[in-house]
Structure 1
Amino acid sequence: MSSRQGAALVCVLLDSTVMTDPAARAATGSGPKADVAHASAQMRPASPASHGTGRRTRIATAEETLNVTASRNAFRFSSAQHIADSATRISAEELINRNVVAATDLQQIVPNVTIQTMNGTSTVNYLVRGIGMNDYTQNAMPSVLTYVDGVAFPLAQMSNGMLFDLGSVDVVPGPVGTQHGQSETGGEINIQTADPTPQWHGGVSQDIASYARARSNFFLSGPLSPTLSWRLSGQSQQGGGWQTRPLDGAHLGDASQGALRSKLRWQPDDKTDITLTGHWVQDNSEVVTGKPFLNVQPVGTIPKMGFEQAVWDLRPQFAALVGRPAGIKPSEHNTFWGSDLRASRVLGPVTLSAISAFETERIAEYTDQDATQYATGDQYRNVVANSFSQEIDLRNTDRQSRFQWSVGAYYNRVRMAQQFFYDFTNYLPQRGYLSETSYRQNQQTFSQFAHASYRFAHDVTLFGGITHEADDRQLLGLRTRRFGVSDLHFDNEATSANQFSGVAGIQWQPTSKTMTYFKVSKGFKPGGFTANNTVIQQQLAPYKPETLLAYELGFKSDIISQVLRLNGAAFFYDYHDQQVLTSLLVPNYGPIGVFLNAPKSQVWGIELSAGLHPIKHVFLSGNMGYQRATYQNYQALDTTAVAAYAKAHNGTWQAFYTDYAGVDTGLPKLSLNGTAEYRFEPFRRYEWANGVDGSYRGAQALSPGVSSGPFLLPAYFLLGAHSTLRPASGRWSLTVYASNILQRHYQISAGMVTTTYYYIPAAPRFIGGRFGVSF
């Protein structure tokens, strides 16, 4: 191996982008779970190195094969150009360059995607092409499911802190579930972490930025024996808090998170591959607090603050009730851990694969949800939950065959207990007390799936799949204690669903560089319960399952090999019984959040993705998404009118409803993002990469039909940059970077509690540096 080739290998390993050759993975039974005609997002994309031009060396062992090049490939994920989907695939290098360290950062890279935290908490909700669910309590199946190394996380918060030592991240829109996991209406987020490697190597990096933010990463990987390899990686995040309290200058928002992951891979022969993974995350980070913009029934004056200021307050009585120190700031005290066992075995003409996983979360979270100095909506939440899942599938071994097929089954069981504590002491005369709502929830899902495709002459492929899913849920022992007032006990509730979903489509590959497809798919998501601050039995009535009929037409093309790539898709969604978070008016109490079904709505849009390598050192890429969504049949409580009436009539509540038929749902319509990078050798045996990135997101309405005013999150544009110098030896790298260079003051989400509406502000400008070494 030449020194340049060795340097390329070390550089790629340091960035955690090395992946095994697809052919070698198939030979060992650990290859993609999808066929070339219509692969699922569980497919492991090939390394950029395996498709590049320039000098190449091939490192072979009995276990796997690596292709290493001395020059980078202009475009990544070349094998995915033959897959009939519109997934956005992001390499580990791009994730590093774009400073993606949390799931919410992905919305600056992926078109038509909204990823937002709820009410200033660590709870994250995903909307892909407008399909998602604003589930703050996280006791429902999300519309967009997160997978880590093929393991489904039925509670989205379980995946917090997992974005380190990565191989890639895929965002897959539309109904899914005919080839793995569970059926979903919105799509899935697939996180692929780096696997153990056949040679010993490791790396460490230290990142320091504005507001005393520090991030540390490390990994160590290599063989323990000829058949056994191991990888250990970890991450630490500290500081970075940028909010202050005007009253006393107290600081808020510092991260305090640590994470570890260990992988042990056993390949006793060329037909068997078994990987055992364990992970642990401890998150004691402070959270960003909202900025109130409207109080329709004020108990006091809303504080006026600068962009980087926030107000919070915790009464000693409330701190004593929840068992936390009186001086605690809005923060998390969360622990996530789990393990999974993945195994595959080639049995002649078929390959048998299985994934067994156990995940658990322990959440203790204090948030000042009224975002004021008053005790009108302070909250503390305890969650104890665990999930066990088992997946098994069988598929044909010959990946070159015209006929590809797979069958499988998936089982998931969740056990959960939650407590919600509220301080309503200053919310007078309506409440004026402390309260606790607690409950348990059991859930289990069993699904069976099958998928097949056949490639005819002229590279025309027909494909189709079907999933049957049965889901059962029980809400048990729910009670609400209003301390000093009364205790409320509620009847248990149960709901079940039993439905089919599927996909059918056609794909045509007229040339080796051009592919087009059309598919129709149906997605299904089970129903569930509202279980937060419950005061009447009606709140616990189960909402129904939702279904989505999706039509998608797309193309993928490498118009000029290694120079110009252009992909695109157009989609139309027919949405039935959409699960929406709305309000219910409780007599003598006021509006309260509840999940209901919007009988019918529609979403349509387009997406384009382009890559351009016009001259030797210049690399350009970009994505564009445009979407529109409207309700066709939906009526909801007008909380603004209700609150205004109560204010004018001395606390008397009156229901007012609005018909939203034909009204825009409020999704951001236009999203744009792109990067431009210039790579060259300023000195012999050194590479210098300089890049800029930008993203634009259109305005997002907080209520249907809103086009102006405070209930509209304004559009914003963000600009970032990075510059990295590294030697050809790959022993070290030095990076300087900046995010939000233009210091845009914008909001990433919003919320409402009691009568206070507030924005969740986004981070200001960060300037930092990162130094990494490898060995």
Structure 2
Amino acid sequence: MVDLRGLEYVAPNLTVQSINGTASTNFYLRGLGFNDFTQNNMGPVVTYVDDVAYPYSTMASGLMFDMADVTVTPGPVGTEHGQSTTGGEVKLRTNDPTDSFHFGASQDMASYARSRSEAYVSGPIARGFSFRVAAQVNQGGGWQTDPLNGAHLGDADSWALRAKLKWTPDSRTTVLLSGHVVRDESEVVGGVPIARLIGSTPIPAVGWTQTEWSAKNAFTNLIGRNAGLKPSEDNWFWGADLHVAHDFGPVTLTSVSAFETEREGEYTDQDATAAAQADAYRTIAANSFTQELRLSNTNAQDRLQWVLGAYYQRSRMNQSFYFDYTDYLPARGYMQDSSFGLNQEATSEFGHVSYRLPGNVTLFTGLLHEIDDRAITGLTSRIYGGRTLDFHGESTAAAQFAGQVGVSWQATKSVLLYYKMSKGFKPGGFTANNTQVQAQLAPFKPESVLTYELGLKSDPIPNVLRINAAAFYNDFHNQQILGTILIPDYGPLSQLTNVPKSESWGFEGTIDLHPLRHVFVTQNFGWQRGTFQDFPTVNRAKTNAYYAQHGVWKAINDNFSGVDNGQPKLTLNGQLDWRQAVNPRYAVEFGPNWVYRGAQAMTPGGTGFYRLPPYFLLGAHVTLRPASDRWQVTLYASNILNRQYYTSGGQATTTYLYIPGAPRFIGGRVSCNL
């Protein structure tokens, strides 16, 4: 895995979607997530890096290198650490400093001149002190071209640096100071127009690896960028965190302090044509400070295990959106910008207790109380050469409880059964994209979910077969989702809103199989269904169809009661490895890997092109390594069948577009660790 989207290949029921092909991502876990283009709201799935919660998922961009492990936890969490969520969390842990000296590097070269380089050095520097420095550089890999002029699009151009300093003044105390910086000037993936929703001009006929874009000089002058700008990022991310842990004997005190900063400039062509009908440039200046304190028992063998803690988070954000609609005639025909500020602050207290009874039965319960306040300020929408609209600020506050209760039973040495009920909570927020009327800034409500889960963790045949599985049911109230609002004489706009009542259910699991001496198989599977039980909103598809027929914007309201929630019903991913020694000094490993993702509706009740097609991808690798494992050489291929597939979709103005996935890549990687 080299980016967040790679997590789809290792976890069931997880979908990670890039927003318009950019570094901004949305997570869906067990079907729970929402499409937030502005990225100014907390998602239902929170990303952690080294125990630091990132309130905006984009902040985690570029940090997946020198990794130690990745954990994906579905369902409501927050009673043991960090931030309360309704959908779950993705925890990334990077390598820490080592007590002995080590260094290493890797170089990956692949199709389309893609290059990924990594290096690290780690070891002691003085008594009680050790360090680790790791870096990554990504270049090339762009596989799209513009059929109008042959221009190239999609090359990566980023670098990242992480440094850690560890101090152990005594056997009971650990202090770890970390810092990182990411610079990303990569080009993004352009869209493929699927249908003309407004107007009669035919959509461009482009191949799978082609896309059109435009950046008029008047627009680049407005946003302060050079002429000939391609869809691309201009991002800086940096931050620092301090971890302190001290063992007082019966209890351990842990403190995690972090400050994260995001500076983003992002140009996308959201009509996927050479016309300037929905060209967008976004700037974000955001920062977040978090402080967590945890007190827990030290001895992991005690029957009673407990943790108490408190969490504080403060974030500030300023965004500006610039739009070029000059070719969107006769409806608009102008350039426009919107800007706003966001202030947010949250505090929570949490606790979790478990007790192991005789008979290997463990009871556990947890409780969290959270207060969240956020306000949107100073929103201005300006048409160049026309009117300027100033909107008054809006605020929203929430104070709710979340928690869980459950029981686990170690039935045998190799079989664990568990059952738990969890209540999750996520605060409300604002839609702040292309605001035209004050009503668009009305905050959406907090989201809550009551989850029931029954699970199994087992090794029925030790060293041969391992099965982990879970079944779940989610009962949602005010589930947050991207809906639609119609602005008279303007058109439909996306609006984050609440579904009063909805539900989802399903199952997921992982099978690890070692049937033969040299054969190792891992298969993740996930199946989920969900329906809206009460969801009155504007039907975007019918509204667009009415305009196409009558040339008048009229809101076609609907209630999607009983309609499927649209998330992929079936997700599969896995791999098969054949591992064998060539001789006493060398070993080889080879085999295929695969991923399947079912169809996904991109709008509530979406059918036809509003439903993203399913796809299946096949890859393979062969690796040679010595017995010392100090180096390895790998040849690999992804999307071997060169399947045409799409990772997300959407509409800004005149066209509905898909974001295509990468074609076949063939590459090689050399790495060493000394």
Q: Distance in 2 between matches of 1:300 and 1:138?
A: 32
Q: Distance in 2 between matches of 1:122 and 1:378?
A: 17
SS at match of 2:6: helix
Aligned partner of 1:740 among 639, 643, 646: 639
Alignment of 1:371-382 (within 5 A): 371-382=272-283
Is 2:596 the counterpart of 1:696? yes
- Is the 1:665–1:703 contact (alpha carbons within 8 Å) kept by the matching residues of 2? no
Is 2:350 the counterpart of 1:449? yes
Q: Following TM superposition, by how much is the alpha carbon of 1:498 offset from its aligned partner in structure 2, in angstroms?
A: 0.3
Is 2:559 the counterpart of 1:659? yes
1:261-312 superposed Cα distances (whole Å, 9 cap, x missing partner): 0111111111001100000100000000110111121263311011000000
Q: Following TM superposition, by how much is the alpha carbon of 1:580 offset from its aligned partner in structure 2, in angstroms?
A: 1.0
Q: Distance in 1 between matches of 2:201 and 2:183?
A: 37
What's the C-alpha RMSD, in Å, of the aligned pairs?
A: 1.1
User: Hey, what does 2:617 align to over in structure 1?
Assistant: 718
User: Hey, what does 2:12 align to over in structure 1?
Assistant: 111
Amino acid at match of 1:772: S
SS at match of 2:97: coil
User: Hey, what does 2:402 align to over in structure 1?
Assistant: 501
User: Hey, what does 2:195 align to over in structure 1?
Assistant: 294
Q: TM-score, normalised by structure 2?
A: 0.99
Aligned partner of 1:684 among 584, 607, 610: 584
Is 2:341 the counterpart of 1:440? yes
SS at match of 1:248: coil
User: Hey, what does 1:478 align to over in structure 2?
Assistant: 379
Q: Distance in 2 between matches of 1:258 and 1:612?
A: 38
Q: Distance in 1 between matches of 2:378 and 2:601?
A: 37
Aligned partner of 1:431 among 313, 323, 332: 332
Is 2:517 the counterpart of 1:616? yes
- Is the 1:299–1:426 contact (alpha carbons within 8 Å) kept by the matching residues of 2? no
* Structure with the higher fraction of residues in strand conformation: 2
Q: Distance in 2 between matches of 1:704 and 1:391?
A: 38
User: Hey, what does 1:462 align to over in structure 2?
Assistant: 363
Structure 2 stretches lacking a partner, 5+ long: none
Q: Distance in 2 between matches of 1:609 and 1:658?
A: 39
Q: Following TM superposition, by how much is the alpha carbon of 1:102 offset from its aligned partner in structure 2, in angstroms?
A: 1.1
User: Hey, what does 1:354 align to over in structure 2?
Assistant: 255
1:645-700 superposed Cα distances (whole Å, 9 cap, x missing partner): 334334x3211112210110111101111111111111221111112111111111
Is 2:62 the counterpart of 1:161? yes
Aligned partner of 1:752 among 624, 630, 651: 651
Alignment of 1:630-649 (within 5 A): 630-649=531-550
Aligned partner of 1:421 among 290, 308, 322: 322
1:691-738 superposed Cα distances (whole Å, 9 cap, x missing partner): 21111111112233445x222222111111111111223342111000
- Is the 2:199–2:548 contact (alpha carbons within 8 Å) kept by the matching residues of 1? no
Q: Following TM superposition, by how much is the alpha carbon of 1:466 offset from its aligned partner in structure 2, in angstroms?
A: 0.2
1:489-517 superposed Cα distances (whole Å, 9 cap, x missing partner): 00111100000000000000011211000
Q: Following TM superposition, by how much is the alpha carbon of 1:106 offset from its aligned partner in structure 2, in angstroms?
A: 1.3
Amino acid at match of 1:674: G
Amino acid at match of 2:567: L
- Is the 1:171–1:190 contact (alpha carbons within 8 Å) kept by the matching residues of 2? yes
SS at match of 2:242: strand
Q: Distance in 2 between matches of 1:562 and 1:684?
A: 23
Alignment of 1:232-631 (within 5 A): 232-298=133-199, 300-631=201-532
1:229-259 superposed Cα distances (whole Å, 9 cap, x missing partner): 1101011110000000001111000000100
Q: Distance in 2 between matches of 1:433 and 1:526?
A: 36
Amino acid at match of 2:229: I
Q: Distance in 2 between matches of 1:640 and 1:673?
A: 32
Q: Following TM superposition, by how much is the alpha carbon of 1:112 offset from its aligned partner in structure 2, in angstroms?
A: 0.8
Amino acid at match of 1:179: E
Amino acid at match of 2:310: A
Q: Distance in 1 between matches of 2:322 and 2:387?
A: 15
* Number of equivalences: 674
Q: Distance in 2 between matches of 1:120 and 1:268?
A: 47
Q: Distance in 2 between matches of 1:394 and 1:179?
A: 10
**Percent identity over the alignment?**
53
Aligned partner of 1:763 among 662, 665, 674: 662
SS at match of 1:303: coil
Amino acid at match of 2:120: F
Q: Following TM superposition, by how much is the alpha carbon of 1:755 offset from its aligned partner in structure 2, in angstroms?
A: 2.4
Aligned partner of 1:197 among 98, 109, 118: 98
Q: Following TM superposition, by how much is the alpha carbon of 1:773 offset from its aligned partner in structure 2, in angstroms?
A: 2.3
Tell me whether 610-619 or 750-759 shows the greater mean CA deviation: 610-619
SS at match of 1:262: strand
1:14-71 superposed Cα distances (whole Å, 9 cap, x missing partner): xxxxxxxxxxxxxxxxxxxxxxxxxxxxxxxxxxxxxxxxxxxxxxxxxxxxxxxxxx
Amino acid at match of 1:671: T
1:499-542 superposed Cα distances (whole Å, 9 cap, x missing partner): 00000000000112110000000000000011111110000001
Q: TM-score, normalised by structure 1?
A: 0.86
Cα distance change on mapping 1:479 and 1:299 into 2, 3 Å: farther
Q: Distance in 1 between matches of 2:466 and 2:627?
A: 28
Alignment of 1:43-58 (within 5 A): none
Amino acid at match of 1:760: I
SS at match of 1:268: strand
- Is the 1:109–1:695 contact (alpha carbons within 8 Å) kept by the matching residues of 2? no
Q: Distance in 2 between matches of 1:241 and 1:220?
A: 30
Is 2:585 the counterpart of 1:674? no
Alignment of 1:27-46 (within 5 A): none
Aligned partner of 2:627 among 728, 739, 742: 728
